[in-house]
Structure 1
Amino acid sequence: HEYKDKDEKSRYIWTTFSKDQVDLNYANYRVMVAILDVLLFYVQKGAKLIRLDAIAFLWKEIGSNCIHLPQTHEAIQLMRDVIHKVAPEIIIITETNVPHKENISYFGSGDDEAQMVYNFALPPLAAHTLLSSDTSKLKSWVDSLTLPSDKVCFFNFIASHDGCGLRPVSDILEPKEIKRVIDFVEENGGYVSYRAMGDGYKSPYELNASYIDIISKKDEEIKIRAKKFMVIQALKLVMPGVPGVYFHSLVGSISDEDAVKSTGILRSINRQKFNYDFLCEEIEQSGTLRNLIFNHYKRLLGIRKNEPSFDPYGKFETLQAENELFVLKRYKDDDNFGILTINNFSNMPISYQLPGFLEEPYELIYESKIEGDSIEIEAYDTLWIKYKRRVDED
């Protein structure tokens, strides 16, 4: 972009994303030292997690695409070394909205770069799963998740102040599957942001809508919208790693279309501003979207925080089930105790044959003992079944 200096001369400065985000020249050691000073200032003020935003684009080199360069990984290692020299408890988290295989490269060797990496593939993949009632791609992806050490984990999220990125699933979903999600969002009043590819072609980059409007129609019954939304939020809460809850998800916000009109910025659609008293009234009003989502979210979070099987560094395993069901077993070290999580991504109740290793199964969300060898999961519902492992099972 072109800027004017103090003498009104034109200066062209590198801006990877937009005019209001000027890139820095980290090849200049003075810049690097200044940034390290800022990071240490955050540490001094009590920061526990430090997010390195869009870090994949940090280093600039003429003739390259300026993404994922070796110098970028070295810069992250330097930042971590400096921070951990004075505060080894600080967690470094990288935010790199890129295809999944590229994203997880920021774990490094498992003990030299990020301790947490944003799990960017989860939001669009979850949307595809619900809109298609097909968990096969989700299951295959979860089965492929690996970590370079037991000192790192994923940061799982579904929505944020930005849009729902599509690039992270470019190596997971077929183009026609991504297009189906795009078509649904556009037909539902949402937007799609594109990025220029340099040859005149534009590629879809992210979906701009509140997440509930990405996966449910605005004219659907409120209870159905809430259930669709919460089955995906529940999925996030059981995924291996640390869950992050966007405030607008917690309080069930819909798309703020007026904000887009007033700002001209598509991302404003998911950044609604609140009057606190009015928000509280909406949450407390029985049967509203905010009321249904907030109360159910609170219940799930209250259960989750007391269950050791949901340890961010704990183990996980998918189990076979009907294509509409996603079944994930979470447990700690020895698998003597665990939680079987079941998500129904269809609009019909589905029966599930319980595994033989379950002893004294107890459903945590509905607080009920489970009798028999099968269980029915209602449409767009979630079950968390706590169990002991049968001694006679291998």
Structure 2
Amino acid sequence: MSRIDETHDPKRRSWVASANGHPDFPIQNLPLGVFSPPGGAPRAGAAIGDRILDLLALLAAGLLGGEAARAVEATADGTLNGLLALGAGPRRALRTQLSALLAEGSAARGRAEPCLHAAADCALHLPARIGDYTDFYVGIHHATNVGRVFRPDNPLLPNYKHVPIGYHGRASSVVPSGTPVRRPNGQRKLPSEAGPSFGPSRNLDYELELGIWIGPGNALGEPIPVGAAAEHVAGFCLLNDWSARDIQAWEYQPLGPFLAKSFASTISPWVITPEALAPFRTAQPPRPAGDPAPLPYLWDAADQGEGALDLELEVLLATPGLREQGLPPHRLALSSARHMYWTVAQMVAHHSSNGCNLRPGDLLGSGTISAPDPEGCGSLLETTRGWTEPLRLASGEERRALEDGDEVVLLARARRAGFAGIGFGACRGTVLPARGG
């Protein structure tokens, strides 16, 4: 696991004034991403306050050396894939050198300052070419809530507590925060209808998830041991895995999610590194009495001791009515990454246990993370108890499902006494009308 060092010092301040006290991007975070400055091509950057530091410009200015320079050189193609592939050593060296360069009193300020861009003037892109995307289902409260809607007497299927459930999603439709999401058309059928019809989804939903970026991969046929899985994780993001529930209900048997999920998944654009999250590691919550112990290939004592993340997760909804009346977004949910039944290492180990080869830039989704209380539901399907209890908003609007013009915003924050808090940046998307709808 990542270690605590001088880069986490809460007393460290930056000469980038907006970083000091920034809710997401203080100098203790330094997430990595891909951006385009005005009139420029996509390139690697690091977020610091309300600025983006151009890493290739920093390299050209001779301000990076050794493994840190190697890390930035690997981004020459305009993606982070090469950097992610290098693993923790170069990534940690880059963090250390960036922290020193950006700290108050840095002798390099005069040479580094021209490498900064105002974030508001830049376009943010996907940080990596996503070769494969796999969505898990490790939020046990979500799984239980959804199960109660469809199977009141048996909400959790018998395999849930034995195996990290997942399915292979569609990488081509993963989009960065701010990209509008088109309501999908598809086949749907209500129980009262004699047959299916084709048209816009009537039960469009969001899903609050944690995204996991894969760094170094594994050779085909060579599983990743759970005790080594953390070495293959390069960072984290937020993930909204939009879901057309009515389309899914009709199509998912017998092979699982298909067009109801593949139309769009939105991620926050910054890769929050394992090093930045080191202070917020925590023990995996103990399993309830009577739950089965994980099989040996999924069990590692060190992972159980610090393999969970203490992250506060929040979902906000901005509707046309709220915006027109000047009202703030409505909080849909407040949850925590501690409600994941399986750790990230267990997900990686299970994914590769059959010899499946993971590659740098692959993306894993945690599955919807709900809290045990009604205020922490990670989807509208749960919040409205299967569409039967609509939300009432301060604008006078009601919502059973998402409507055109609605914007969903996911947020994540990490806090711990004695350390500077950090955030992930927003993961936002606005629903556009369906084609022909």
TM-score with structure 1 length normalisation?
0.24
TM-score with structure 2 length normalisation?
0.23
Higher RCO (C-alpha under 8 Å, 6+ residues apart): 2
> As a proportion of its length, which structure holds more helix?
1
